[in-house]
Amino acid sequence: MGGTEMLGPIRSVIENKSDSDIPCYVFLITDGDVTNTNEIIANVYMKNDNMRFFTIGIGNGISPYLI
């Protein structure tokens, strides 16, 4: 139907995270596929010191590599 845009929301969460010592947990729930998987993963790895990302894929149209 349409493209699944995840990079914008992920960047927004990363940029708006306060610099406190409290860890941040991000849950990404999707039913779609993306075309920029490597770019999304690179952004997540940049902030893996104080943020944890969890992914949940629903349905047959997901990106197995991303999830």
Q: Summarize pLDDT for 45-61 with one digit per residue, the tens.
A: 887 778 889 989 898 88
Which tokens hold the place of 12? 């927004």
Asked whether residue 64 is domain-assigned, the answer is: no
Q: How confident is the model at residue 24 (pLDDT cuts 50, 70, 90)?
A: confident
What element of type H or E holds 39?
A: helix 37-46
pLDDT of residue 6: 87
Domains in the chain, number:
1
Domain range holding 19? 7-57
Asked whether residue 2 is domain-assigned, the answer is: no
Residue 3 reports pLDDT greater than 90: no
Q: Cα angle vertex 33, ends 38, 58, to 5°? A: 120
Q: Are 64 and 36 in contact (CB under 8 A)?
A: no
Asked whether residue 67 is domain-assigned, the answer is: no
pLDDT of residue 2: 56
**pTM value?**
0.75
Residue 18: C-alpha distances to residues 47, 51, 60 (Å): 12, 11, 35
